Amino acid sequence: MDPPRIIHFLCLIFFTLANTSHSLEKIQAFLQPIRKDDATNLYYCPLSIGMSKSNGVNHLPISVNLAIDLGGSAPFLLTCAAAVKSISYHPIKCGSSRCTYAKPDLLSCPNNSKKRATCHKSFSTSFTVHPIKSRLFRDTVSLLYTQNACTDMWNVDPLIKPYLSVVNGTLGLAKTHVSLPSQLVSSYKVPLKVALCLPSSYGSPSGSGALYVGGGPYFFAPYPNDVSKFFASTPLLANDQSPGEYFIDVKSIQIGGKAIVIAKKGTKICTLAPYTVLHSSIYKALVLTFAGKAKMVKAPAVKPFGSCFSSKGLGKTMMGSGVPVIELVLSGGAKWKIYGWNSLVKVSKDVVCLGFLDGGVNLKEAMVIGGFQMEDNLVEFDIKASKFSFTSSLLLRNASCSQSRLF
């Protein structure tokens, strides 16, 4: 197995390689493991950042868990308490080329001229309603040396605080000039593509999913070939209100031949939403249609779900003949098929619930596709081509995103 690469970012444009004999031409894509915390339904990447201060001569990397945020504009957004523990932590100063490239907040760096002050920038995240003010810094991260940000707001924001026992911050994959994909692409000329294969309980208990930056090929054992051959695609939509996030156009939802027309344009894809959230009118139609087509006995609802069934006869696969397939019909005609694995959530020994949530009448989007519906599906965001591709469930190929990998 190749040794870890340490990649140096200089001004996010120029670079040098260190501690590696590998040439730039051999770097085709970047790959990181994805894990899931079952208690919070967070998908995160374990990383090693910087070097600890407390180990004498043998300094060791600091382990952090970063929640995957498709809407996150910062490459790595950590708590400042975690960031400053590293002896290789370097704050980025106002007036520096790195600060200029990041386009700092004007109040922290008027005209970007206060060279002794730390550069601050407000970053959008899917955790928070408003951008979160952060300090910019640079440090070594497993695989790369990059510009990052830390914030003191994680500890006080009520939307974030419950998750701090699991993660130390976020890993941002948004379509912004300083996000992780943009930094890697600008320096290493890999394709501007991000792919996710989120792990689930159906795969190996000790296995991990995968985050790719730079494209495939994509191999998931025991299937022997590149699974991108099963891709179906639809255009990515631009969204003026959330330009860094990922949107597609779902035309309708089909269940057992019956179509639910989606009049409202714009469906967001969000890994921080544990389950798909629907506008109330769409949700009610989905529940009514699914219950009518399902050959299952209804059970009392279990929060946060609104429609539940007896699981007797389904088996472990959630693929009994009575489970209707939910098809998202997308712009261009592609169909994202959601089988029982990704539509039913086991809430007790004998009860499963439809894994979709009512977002109310004020939901801005028609729907927000959440992580549970993406588990064991390989999805790819081709940012340059403005194209979204997906395989539907890899379990149909006797494969899974949850694999034991030698990362």
Q: What is the per-residue pLDDT across 36-46, written as a single tens digit (0 to 9) for each?
A: 998 889 999 99
- Two tokens at 351? 């009860």
Taking residues 261-273, what's their average pLDDT? 93
Cα(347)–Cα(344) distance, integer angstroms? 9
Give the pLDDT score at 371: 96
Residue 50 CB-half CA count within 13 A: 23
| Count of CB atoms situated within 10 Å of the CB of 216 | 17
| Beta strands 351-354 and 344-346, pairing class | antiparallel
Q: Supply the pLDDT for residue 320.
A: 56
- Among candidate residues 51, 53, 83, the one with its CA nearest the CA of residue 155: 83
Neighbour-count burial for 155-174, b at 16+ CB within 10 Å, e otherwise: eebeebeebeeebbbbbbbb
**With 0-12 CB in 10 A as exposed, 13-18 as middle and 19+ as buried, what is 224?**
exposed
List, in order, residues 6 or more apart from 106 with CB less than 8 Å away.
none
In this predicted structure, what is the pLDDT of residue 30?
A: 87
Give the pLDDT confidence score for residue 363 in this predicted structure.
93
Query: Which residues, at least 6 apart from 102, have a Cβ–Cβ distance to it below 8 Å?
Result: 92, 119, 121, 136, 147, 178
Nearest-Å Rg of the Cα atoms of the chain is 22
Residue 141 has pLDDT above 80, yes or no: no
Residue 102, pLDDT above cutoff 90: no
Higher pLDDT, 240 or 373: 373
pLDDT of the residue at 210? 92
DSSP 304: T
Q: Which DSSP state fits 28?
A: -
Q: What average pLDDT does the segment 65-80 reach?
A: 87
The two tokens of residue 366 are 């028609």
Residue positions counted in the chain? 407
Share of the chain above pLDDT 90, in %: 43
Q: Is the pLDDT of residue 85 over 90?
A: no
Give the mean model confidence (pLDDT) for residues 292-305: 92
CA distance 158 to 140: 30
Residues β-bridged to residue 382? 193, 387
Give the per-residue pLDDT at 185.
Answer: 86
pTM: 0.86
Please determine, for residue 354, whether its predicted confidence score (pLDDT) is greater than 50. yes
Whether residue 316 has pLDDT greater than 80:
no
Given a cut of 90, is residue 303 above it in pLDDT? Answer: yes
pLDDT score of 294 more than 60: yes
Let me know: does 270 contact 96? Beta carbons within 8 Å: no
- Position with higher pLDDT, 387 vs 187: 387
Pick the range with the lowest mean pLDDT from 127-136, 282-291, 351-360: 127-136
Would you say the C-alpha torsion 219, 269, 169, 145 has a positive or negative sign? positive
Structure confidence at residue 259 (pLDDT): 96
pLDDT of residue 115: 65
pLDDT winner (highest mean) among 50-64, 104-118, 163-177, 251-265: 251-265
Please, which residues have CB within 8 angstroms of residue 174's CB and are 6 or more apart in sequence? 69, 70, 71, 72, 73, 124, 244, 245
CA-to-CA separations, 21 to 1, 6, 27, 49, in angstroms, rounded: 14, 11, 12, 22
Write down the mean pLDDT value for the chain.
82
Q: Is the pLDDT of residue 339 over 70?
A: yes
Rounded Cα distance, 235 and 330, in Å: 9
* β strands within 256-313, DSSP E: 258-261, 267-269, 276-278, 298-299, 308-310
Q: How confident is the model at residue 21 (pLDDT cuts 50, 70, 90)?
A: very low
Structure tokens, 353? 């619930």
Q: Output the 3-class SS for 47-99.
A: EEECCCCCCCCCCCCEEEEEEEECCCCCCEEEEHHHHCCCCCCEECECCCHHH
Residue 153: is its pLDDT beyond 70? Answer: no
pLDDT attached to residue 117 = 84
Quickly state the pLDDT bin for 10 (edges 50, 70, 90): very low
What are the tens digits of pLDDT across the range 170-214?
899 999 888 889 988 887 888 999 999 999 866 566 678 999 999
pLDDT band, residue 56 (cuts 50/70/90):
low
Tokens of 16: 């040098």
> At which residue do the structure tokens 């924001």 appear?
157
Domains, the chain, in order of start with CATH, read: 6-190 (2.40.70.10), 224-396 (2.40.70.10)
- Residue 249's φ and ψ, nearest 5 degrees, are -110, 110
Strand, helix or coil for residue 260? strand
pLDDT given at position 121:
85
Identify the pLDDT of residue 295: 81
Whole-angstrom Cα distance, residue 286 to residue 253? 8
For residue 357, give the nearest of 268, 279, 272, 293 by alpha carbon: 279
What average pLDDT does this structure show over 305-317? 82
Distance from C-alpha of 352 to C-alpha of 344, rounded to nearest angstrom: 6
